[in-house]
Amino acid sequence: MKNERVPKILILANWLASKFINESFLEEFLGDLKEIYEERLSSRGRFYAKWMYWVDALHLLMGFTSFSRFTNSNTLTIFMLSNHLKISWRNLRRNRGYSSLNLLGLILGFTTSLLIYLWVENEIATDNQQSDSDRIFIIYSREVYEGGTNAERNTPARLPEEIKKTFPEIEFATGYAKSFRMSLKGVTQETFQVNDNILKMSGTRGSPDFFKVFDFKLIEGTAESALPDRHNIAISRKMADIFFGSAQEAINQMIRYENQSDLIITAVFEDIGDESTLKFDYLTHWDAWVDSDPIKQSWGHFGTETYIKLKKNSDPWQTSQKIKDFLGNFMEFDDTHRFELDMQKFGDGYLFGNYVNGRPAEGRIAYVRIFRGIGLFILMIAIINFINITTATASRRHKEIGIRKVIGASRLSLKTQFVTESTLLALIGISLSIGLVILLLPVFNSITHKSIVIPFSDGVFWLRIVAMTVVIGFVSGAYPALVLSRIKLISALKSIGTIGSRPSIIRRGLVTFQFALSILLIVAALVVSKQAYFARNKQLGFDKKDLLYIPLEGELLTNYSLFRSKASIMPGIVMVDRSAQTPHDMGFSVPWFSWDGKDPNDHTLFTSSSVGFDFISLMKLKIVEGRDFSRKRPADLKNYIVNEAAVEAMGGDDALGKTVSIFGKTGKIVGVIKDFHYNSLHLPIRPMALDVKEDLNFGTALVRIEEGKTKIALNSLETVCNEINPGYAFSYTFVEDTYEDMYKVESTMSTLTQYFASLAILISCLGLFGLVALATELRMKEIGIRKILGATIANIFQLLSKEYVLLLVISAAIAIPIAVHFMRQWLNQFAYRIELDWWIFGLACILTIGISFIVIGSRILESALTNPINSLRDD
């Protein structure tokens, strides 16, 4: 590069000055600028000088445009925006190291936040995709008794028909049997056959109004003709494809059901996705199911769900008041005990699925709020990184800012420049993040057990992305712009008051806040993981290992004794017995259990379940008093065995020999078993009474298999089932799998919080590394002088690290009380939960401070080991 280039730039500057401002205004400055150029040529080399010539020329040009007298304002705006973008891009390229740290932090923050956003939107959309969703409600029952109120979605099977006839504001009503034969996923599985194709499908029962209440898409048939009578069935597209090849071929065809009857297909509906909690591949007629069992016809049978759709312009609150005492028309109540009805919006049922004191309360909405907060936290951490590094690197740009101010750049122009840079970086980051999300979605879906996709065709989604980019760009650039635009001209040109050499109060606060969030996330990850592990591994009071259950259906019901005797002697089988329900969801609770000396006003809920004679032995339950049921004692068909909670509810006295009664069956207590968990750990163990019934027309067969002989045992069971029950596909479920499925939400949350906490600490450390690297770079001369004067590496390390370590300690002090509060709230939803041990918070602090200290130390040691001669050399 030649020196004559300098005059050319000066000529350009003089020409611009003559066009836009008084030439004498820049005379002294241009002379100084010439000296700077000549110094660069001699000290830094041609390449650097050539590069800086054109950068300074561009700065001059940008400065002059602020005084320009262009008559076309649009041309001026486009010109200025174009130059802002060019300068932004060049600044990003010039500071590749720090720009890369910023960009990496933004990409990680954006990607994580976008994944969480998609998950949250999916959760919120569940059960809210129905048209007229504001008119669809679920009816739930509220049991009011002395000492408490209990609410659940179970209602009598006869309610839909009667409630529709009674209240004119209810346009449609449907019953829905969510699960009456338990499988792993909590839905009923039954056997269907077309020719030689025999398969089990998941489905349930629905009233004729079902497709009028819900607008699940019908491919064939109409809502009016979907379930016209008892011999009809509506099936999914998947089921139609499996048995008939297509939906069109399936309509009006006949399908064999449970090897008992032939049903005519009157409707085919689209497969139901994740947007609905109502999962089924078929619906059979409601009345046929209700009329098949006298128990279901009783108003005291609370075992189904009821959904209604109100007429347009109906008032939901007034309707809820009208139906409140409706059950009193069919059931007898007294002042101490009654059942009420109430309504909950169908779209709210998924997120507010728990009931407290007889009213809907938080359910999955707690997880939505937690992860929404985590997404916001991680995004804030990424933004804080950007603000800190951008502001800290200002010291590299003080001359640029000073020169631009000298030649007329306004504060607005400077602010616009920095906001443009941050927005450009945000745009790059979010563009790369979207690509990364596309790559990560399959893995994310496998973790969350969902089928989330990016809604490319959704204009609202892209508007939110653009808005987020602009907002993040503005927020990230606003503080640096305000700080940098305030640099005084003389200080900037003389490198006085350098920003970034020492942390400002605001930057200290941001670093503290950032690491407080990281500690909070680590604590959450540890607590959730520990609770999930506790739930999966807690001693339940029975041995769930090598225990499976088979639905009793078809000939297995009528020939249960034959099945039990044959299966018990097959290879790999230890014992076979039966139960009315599965071990993880036993019985139903009623206040009608009576005993000698019971207070008439005592309406304690007792769980009642019927089992076989060998149930206690097969489950390996511990008898603490009395004895087990025995086939050698015929009277045991009327007797009961209760748990410890039942004994306590009955007064805590000796329960053996007491006469008890429920559902008209009176007998004596012959044994007391140790409490065991027959429901989720979210629920406390209630008083329980077991009786013997081996002639039930429903239930499951429980099978204990030999350890290590699973394959042999399954082959044996399949052989026996196919021999006795050839018209049904063999199916089974391991009890261990059901418990894994019960705590799937907690396991998913545990996995995600671990990943998110790791990302939070990584993003925070990236920012901290950038700050420490810049701080040490700006103090290299100081470090060199201190080393020459005798400072040791330890002295240097202590000097540069003590402030950051102090900030980390303050972060821990802020985060721990907040974490204790929120984690206690989350754990309160479990009846059985872990304790918040001190080591959880200690480990979170040690991890955060330890990892951060390694990051800080690596950069400081590198600077401390630098030869002081190199540190003192002028650039």
- Per-residue pLDDT tens digits for 544-572: 899 999 988 888 888 999 999 999 999 99
Is residue 416 within 8 A of residue 84, CB to CB? The reply is: yes
Pairing assessment for the beta strands 261-269 and 218-220 based on DSSP bridges: antiparallel
**Residue 494 pLDDT:** 52
CB within 8 Å of 46: residues ≥ 6 apart: 1
Q: Of 548, 556, 552, 565, which is closest to residue 726 (Cα–Cα)?
A: 556
Residue extents of the structural domains in the chain: 2-71, 136-350, 366-535+744-872, 547-741
**Residue 811 pLDDT:** 87
Distance of CA 778 to the CA centre of its chain: 44
Helix (H) or strand (E) holding 199: strand 197-206
**Residue 187 pLDDT:** 61
Pairwise CA distance, residues 257 & 233, whole Å: 10
Scan for tokens 């990364």, then name that residue: 436
Pairwise CA distance, residues 176 & 207, whole Å: 7
**Residue 714 pLDDT:** 93
> Rounded to two decimals, what is the model's pTM?
0.74
**Residue 52 pLDDT:** 54
- Sign of the Cα pseudo-torsion (173, 179, 185, 191, in order): negative
**Residue 501 pLDDT:** 43
Q: How many CA atoms lie within 13 A of 11 on its CB side?
A: 5
Q: How many CA atoms lie within 13 A of 653 on its CB side?
A: 8
Single-letter amino acid, residue 769: F
Q: Of 161, 138, 164, which is closest to residue 291 (Cα–Cα)?
A: 161
- Sign of the Cα pseudo-torsion (122, 123, 129, 134, in order): negative
Pairwise CA distance, residues 101 & 386, whole Å: 9
Scan for tokens 């010109």, then name that residue: 79
Interval 206-238: pLDDT, tens: 999 999 999 999 999 999 889 988 899 999 999
- Sign of the Cα pseudo-torsion (461, 463, 465, 467, in order): negative
Residue ranges of the chain with per-residue pLDDT less than 70:
1-99, 146-147, 179-187, 390-411, 414, 479-481, 483-504, 506-507, 587-588, 770, 773-775, 777-778, 859, 863-875
Pairwise CA distance, residues 567 & 717, whole Å: 6
Q: Report how far apart, in Å, the C-alpha atoms of 41 and of each of 28, 47, 121, 334 are.
A: 21, 9, 58, 101
**Residue 662 pLDDT:** 84
Task: For residue 341, give the 3-state DSSP assignment.
Answer: strand
